[in-house]
Amino acid sequence: MLTIGITGHRPNRLKRPLRDLSKDVRNVLRLLAASSSDSKAGALAHLKLISALAEGTDVLVARDALALGYHLAAIIPFARKDYEATFSDPGSVKKFRALWKAASERTKLRGKSKHAEIAYVAVGMLTVARSDILLAIWDGAPAQGRGGTPEIVAAAVHERMPVVWIHAAKTQAPRLIWSNVPTDQASTDLALLAGHAKPLSKTAIKEIVGACRAFTTAK
């Protein structure tokens, strides 16, 4: 099973049209599927997306992944009722409920909404711990609080996890942050992470999928 974790911004930090982001997301997910197995059917049977289903990119990527045949594993930081209260409108709550129902795995952490930042950190770190590759929809800017996308990206890089970066604010081809980043600086120098990102090619996708396979086999 190849597991992709998603971290990304909520709507207030998404400057690109959702349609454009979705196009990039689907292209990346298709490339991962094609590289993970010799047959399309075999690939889809062994691909999973982990998502916190937060409003914005979490929901967008989860919907795209399901449409492409991925399994969905949902992790939320605290009780559903409290989590739904963080959404901006009834339509967003409806999307969340549909995805929660569609998930083949559901995990509710024991966080408290009054300590939301701590709970969001826990969700992000668990996503990194359970994933082989992190898909990040990030605007390249510093965090605006604990548990946000920049912190989760830095945590993944520190663990030497491949990070596929789709820019949330400007149009650019998806990029890869991986083996050439000094992990001792990853948690403090976000500009360094962005500066070390390289274009995401089919060859790079095959390389990171192969590395994930080798690591899984070795465990």
**What's the pLDDT score for residue 41?**
47
Question: Percentage of the chain surpassing pLDDT 70?
Answer: 87
Confidence of residue 39 (pLDDT cuts 50, 70, 90): very low
Strand 133-138, strand 105-108: pairing: unpaired
| C-alpha to C-alpha distance for 112 and 90, rounded to whole angstroms | 22
Mean pLDDT of 181-191: 60
Going by the DSSP 8-state scheme, the letter that residue 185 receives in this structure is: G
| C-alpha to C-alpha distance for 108 and 111, rounded to whole angstroms | 9
* Fold classified for 2-218: Rossmann fold (3.40.50)
Mean pLDDT of 178-186: 63
pLDDT at residue 184 tops 80: no
Tokens of 10: 């909520």
Residue 98 neighbours by CB distance under 10 Å: 14
Going by the DSSP 8-state scheme, the letter that residue 146 receives in this structure is: T
Amino acid letter for position 196 = H
Contact 31, 24 (CB under 8 A): no
Going by the DSSP 8-state scheme, the letter that residue 70 receives in this structure is: -
Mean pLDDT of 76-82: 96
**What's the pLDDT score for residue 46?**
83
pLDDT at residue 65 tops 80: yes
